[in-house]
Amino acid sequence: MAVSGLIRVMERAARKAGARLRRDFGEVEHLQVSRKGPADFVSKADRAAERTLYDELLQARPDWGFLLEEAGEIEGDPTKPRWVIDPLDGTSNFLHGIPHFAISIAAQEPRLDGKGWGDVVAAVIYQPITDETYWAEKTRGAWLHDARLRVSSRRHLDEALIATGIPFAGAGDPNEWVKIYAEIGPKVAGIRRFGAASLDLAWVAAGRFDGFWESNLQPWDTAAGCLLVREAGGFVSDWRGRSDPICAAQVLAGNDALHSRLHKLVVGALKS
């Protein structure tokens, strides 16, 4: 599959910002770490990577808007797509010297009726330390470099390795996660909590994880990863089974069989 110009632009920006993150990794004493909320850290590395992505993508597509984790929304031509960007997903890992973090970039189209945002049409998730680029385009599949990705084919919960994110301080209802875990945890082969939602979704697309759930995420955490999972033949929905382009508030992902099994467990967990 020939890589499109759009993916090339996204990958070039991600590699440039990723090189910057590799230089900053391990230099935590120079990174001016501050808090945005109770457990929400940001550093010079997040901001510098975001600035690099902004500059590169603005130059490539001057009339597109942005939704950036750190700088917020920057309007562009409303008839054009916007970039949805997490410049450093897994900040806590990064600041602790744990090499599990990524850059997540999605291109999201405006809705045809002009009211809000519609489908994600292109996604790049770049892991600077492993130099892996996961990418997807709507209807053209999900890829790791030039290898096509497929979600796993495991159909039974007792064989499934499921990723999750545990709610951070100050976000949502902590009991909700406990209830869902109590239903799912004992029935599956294993649970993983690695701390970078974009990579959790990319790894579901790659068939490494069989499923994933987390709530209270933001569009920049999930926009690229949701397209990857769907283009790899998987399903992404909220707790009620509804799918929107991003499903950030509640994300439940997996292949068809496990998505529906996990969905039943989540519904059961929250009924009691």
> Hey, is 24 helix, strand or coil?
helix
Radius of gyration of the chain (CA): 18
If binding is defined by CB under 5 A, does position 105 make contact with Ca ion? Answer: no
| Stretch 127-166: interaction string toward Ca ion, x if CB under 5 A | ----------------------------------------
Residues 47-76 close enough to bind Ca ion by CB under 5 A: 69
Range in contact with Ca ion (rule: CB under 5 A) among 83-91, 135-143, 150-158, 235-243: 83-91
Largest CA distance in the chain: 52
Q: Kindly tell me which residue out of 10, 84, 88, 253 binds Ca ion, with binding defined by CB under 5 A.
A: 88
The two three-digit tokens of residue 62, written as one number: 């001057």
- Report, in Å, the least distance between residue 186 CB and Ca ion: 29
Q: State the minimum distance, in angstroms, from the CB of residue 99 to ligand 2AM.
A: 14
Q: Considering CB distances under 5 to 8 angstroms, the limit depending on partner class, which of ligand 2AM, Ca ion, none binds residue 178?
A: none
**Binding of Ca ion by 214 (CB under 5 A):** no
For residues 58 and 66, give the distance between their C-alpha atoms in angstroms, rounded to a whole number.
Answer: 9
Question: Minimum distance from CB of 264 to Ca ion (Å)?
Answer: 28
**Separation CA 187–CA 190 (nearest Å):** 9
CB of 9 to ligand 2AM, least distance (A): 22
Contact by Cβ (8 Å): 206, 144 = yes
Q: If contact means CB under 5 to 8 A according to the sort of partner, which of ligand 2AM, Ca ion, none does residue 196 touch?
A: ligand 2AM
Q: Does 89 bind Ca ion (CB under 5 A)?
A: yes
Asked if residue 162 lies in contact with residue 188, where contact means CB atoms within 8 angstroms, the answer is: yes
* Position with the least CB separation from ligand 2AM: 165
CB of 89 to ligand 2AM, least distance (A): 4
What's the CA gap between 133 and 114, in Å, rounded?
32
**Integer angstrom CA distances of residue 62 from 54, 56, 114:** 10, 10, 20
The reply to whether 231 sits near Ca ion by the rule CB under 5 A is no
| Closest residue to Ca ion in the complex (CB) | 89
- SS3 call for 193: coil
- Of 81 and 165, the one with the shorter C-beta distance to ligand 2AM is 165
| Interacting residues toward ligand 2AM by CB under 6 A | 37, 39-40, 86, 89-91, 165, 168, 171, 195-197, 214, 217, 221
At closest approach, how far in Å is the CB of 39 from ligand 2AM?
Answer: 4
**What is the DSSP-derived secondary structure letter of residue 30?**
G
Kind plus residue range of the DSSP H or E element containing 159: none
For residue 165, give the nearest of 190, 191, 127 by alpha carbon. Answer: 191
Measured between alpha carbons, how far is residue 42 from residues 20, 24, 121, 267 in Å?
16, 13, 28, 34
Which residues here bind Ca ion, judged by CB under 5 A? Answer: 69, 86, 88-89, 91, 221
